[in-house]
Amino acid sequence: MAKIRIFSLANKLGLRTEALIKVLSDMGIEDVSPASAVDPETASAAVELVVEQAEEAHRQAQAAAEVQAAQEETRTGATDEATVAKEEWEEEFAPPVHDADLEEGLAELGQYLAELQAATEQERPETPEVKPLSELAARPTGERPDSAVDVPPVVTVLGHVDHGKTTLLDALRQTDVVSGESGGITQHIGASEVSTNDDTIVFIDTPGHEAFTAMRARGAQVTDVAVLVVAADDGVMPQTVEAIDHIRAADVPMIVAINKIDLPNADLAAVQQQLLQHEIVPEELGGETIVVPISALKHEGLDELLEMILLVAEVEQLWADSQGDFVAVVVESRVDSSEGLLAAILIRNGTISVGDIVVCGASWGRIRRLRDWRGKSVKTMEPGHPVEVVGLSDVVEAGEIVQLADSTKQARSLAEEAQDTERERSLMGQAEVQLRQLQRQFGAEQVKELNIVLKSDVWGSTQAIEANLNQLGKQLGEIQINVVHNTVGEVTQSDVLLAAASEAIIMGFRVGVSNEALRAAQDEHVEIRRYDVIYEALEDIRRAMIGMLEPIYEEQAIGEAEVLQTFESSRRGVIGGCRVTSGRMARGARIEVVRNGDQVFDGELSSLRRFENNVATVEAPQECGIAADEFNDWEPGDTITAYQQVEVERSLSGQAVESSSS
């Protein structure tokens, strides 16, 4: 029986793949990935559940609206004027979600459900499954054709920030990259080649900061060998563990490069022991993991590292068909002020030449120029090598698959199909946002939103920032981050108008702002924030989110006092003459009076005097007079504890950071 892959089913339903996997999990189907396939019966059941959840959400929103309307009608006496005012308010402010829209969407889902159910009722002969995009970029296996050629291994360098990944690549390539990076941290992925003797190695340069987790994972998709860089003076750090997880998920061979062995506090034995804790056993300790001590700064151990990479790659027997179907993977894309759209791709199979027509997702075009990784123009490029292409119609996302088309007509048609799919997904996402707004309008949800228009210099940075913004949003249910638009290039006037319409701020990462955009931002009161380092951008948004949180107050003890003697007052009755033993007493604070271990009063400190003066607070170790409107039974020896509501500073984890008096 024919099966359907989860990501394909999600596209048809207009859902995010993660959302559909959650639905399948609710059905008891665990351990599935976007590339997993389900039979039509399971798919049919999943669609039914999606329809039920959509209808239930709509019913709840309608019920909440009816309750709200009934309460409004009762309070206003249900006059004709009140009814007209309510209708006018709804027309102006209610989110544009209508029954007809939902019914049309459900009808489409129902039609697809019927198609799936029909597929389950009629047995069909098994047909070969269509390869998902990730499999198209996989290394070929089996018998080598006559046109096959050996290809260089693709190596990904992973590890903790500041452990020397870029310095290592800089030493291997004999270039200077670190000095050109903001904050000394690599900001986006690139590809380069290193030659040793008669062999070549392709390196995918992945960023080291934790903000680029998603980019590191994407880099591992085309990796043949992973080099884990660990500093000899720092050892295994949190991002080192993340890198280990990515390497294991990619199921590729790992080589550990222990860097900075030239430092006086380098401790190779300690690093090896830390690796053992993560089930990485070096060869010299009886394991299978190759460990190479190096100093990237002093160029020590680099030849041995390259030799080990080639040794591991030799076991893999890497090859590609130079005359086969062309397939490449986008490593990075950007917008150049003079040449327009540029995309760096890694060729997995086949050969590309100037003049070829290519299609990549929703983008297509005729190749006008090819450049190797050093920037030299070339006419053709064979498999296994990175190359920069000029001629695409639109910016492409890193990780997209590039293929050749027979004609411009075919390429345009394929790109338009991808655009339609993306447009449908976007419309479904907008409908989801509108439904959520409707629920919040009637009190079903109480969540604040931070809307962002994101612009950056390259797609890798855009994807990494968006992934981490979403992660920030998950840390606290009270704030939801919505990236309403993201692309590469400078901030334009249209970006500002979109931000104004969606009440969003604009995040610009390593991009300029046009003069028209600056004027529009001033007129529309839109905030544009510009950054050069990713973690500074994320920290700024984190602070903004914390500032949006509702304050939390908790009662804390602020001081203690002891009653020394009592006084009679014609106005206040009995007054306790006290000495503040710790902290402070404050007028209006709640006080507890304890006598011989028993509480004799719990109420408000209504009067506080210092000599003849009424005061707001008295600090230890001063003496004062204390009176409470509801208590006159003061006795020497009584202990008074004062309490006050203190605002607790919020954090994204919802925990207190530090407190200050309100």
Q: What is the CATH number of the domain that holds 537?
A: 3.40.50.10050
Residue 254 has pLDDT above 90, yes or no: yes
Higher pLDDT, 257 or 420: 257
Q: Of 317, 347, 368, which residue sits at a domain end?
A: 317
Q: Is residue 128 part of a domain?
A: no
| Claim to verify: residue 509 and residue 592 sit in the same structural domain | no
Q: Is residue 287 part of a domain?
A: yes
The pLDDT, as a whole number, for residue 178 is 56
Residue 629 has pLDDT above 80, yes or no: yes
| Model confidence, pTM | 0.57
Range(s) of the domain holding residue 177? 152-317
Q: Is residue 185 part of a domain?
A: yes
pLDDT in tens, 608-617: 999 888 999 9
Q: Of 548, 573, 594, which residue sits at a domain end?
A: 548
Higher pLDDT, 545 or 269: 269
- Percent of the chain past pLDDT 70, that is, above it, reads 73
SS (H, E, C) 333-389: EEEECCCEEEEEEEEEECCEECCCEEEECCEEEECCEEECCCCCEECEECCCCEEEE
| Claim to verify: residue 519 and residue 633 sit in the same structural domain | no
| Claim to verify: residue 311 and residue 341 sit in the same structural domain | no
SS (H, E, C) 147-171: CEEECCCEEEEEECCCCCHHHHHHH
| Claim to verify: residue 105 and residue 52 sit in the same structural domain | yes
Q: Is residue 138 part of a domain?
A: no
DSSP codes, 100-161: HHHHHHHHHHHHHHHHHHHHHHS-----PPPPPHHHHTSPP-SSPPTTEEE-PPEEEEEE-T
The pLDDT, as a whole number, for residue 428 is 55
Q: Is residue 174 part of a domain?
A: yes
| Claim to verify: residue 485 and residue 565 sit in the same structural domain | no
| Claim to verify: residue 291 and residue 369 sit in the same structural domain | no
| Claim to verify: residue 114 and residue 76 sit in the same structural domain | yes
Residue 594 has pLDDT above 50, yes or no: yes
Higher pLDDT, 302 or 133: 302
pLDDT in tens, 162-181: 888 888 988 888 754 555 55
- 3-class DSSP state for residue 298? coil
Q: Is residue 292 part of a domain?
A: yes
pLDDT in tens, 15-71: 677 777 877 777 667 777 766 777 776 777 777 777 766 666 666 666 666 666 665
Mean pLDDT estimate for the chain: 78
Q: Of 252, 283, 317, which residue sits at a domain end?
A: 317
Q: Is residue 245 part of a domain?
A: yes
| Claim to verify: residue 158 and residue 110 sit in the same structural domain | no
Reported confidence tier of residue 129, pLDDT bands at 50, 70, 90: very low
* CATH number, position 640: 2.40.30.10
Residue corresponding to tokens 């949800």: 445
| Claim to verify: residue 485 and residue 522 sit in the same structural domain | yes
Please tell me what DSSP assigns to residue 198.
Answer: T
| Claim to verify: residue 112 and residue 190 sit in the same structural domain | no
The number of distinct structural domains making up the chain is 5
C-alpha atoms less than 13 angstroms from C-alpha of 500 in its C-beta half-sphere: 16
Q: Is residue 418 part of a domain?
A: no
| Claim to verify: residue 173 and residue 287 sit in the same structural domain | yes
* Per-residue burial over 15-35, b = 16 or more CB atoms within 10 Å of its CB, e = otherwise: bbbeebbebbeeeebeeeebe
| Claim to verify: residue 308 and residue 378 sit in the same structural domain | no
pLDDT in tens, 404-458: 998 888 988 888 887 777 666 655 555 555 555 554 554 444 567 888 999 988 8
Strand extents, DSSP E, 524-589: 528-531, 552-569, 573-586
**What mean pLDDT comes out for the span 302-330?**
91
Residue pair 302/315 in contact (Cβ under 8 Å)? The answer is: no
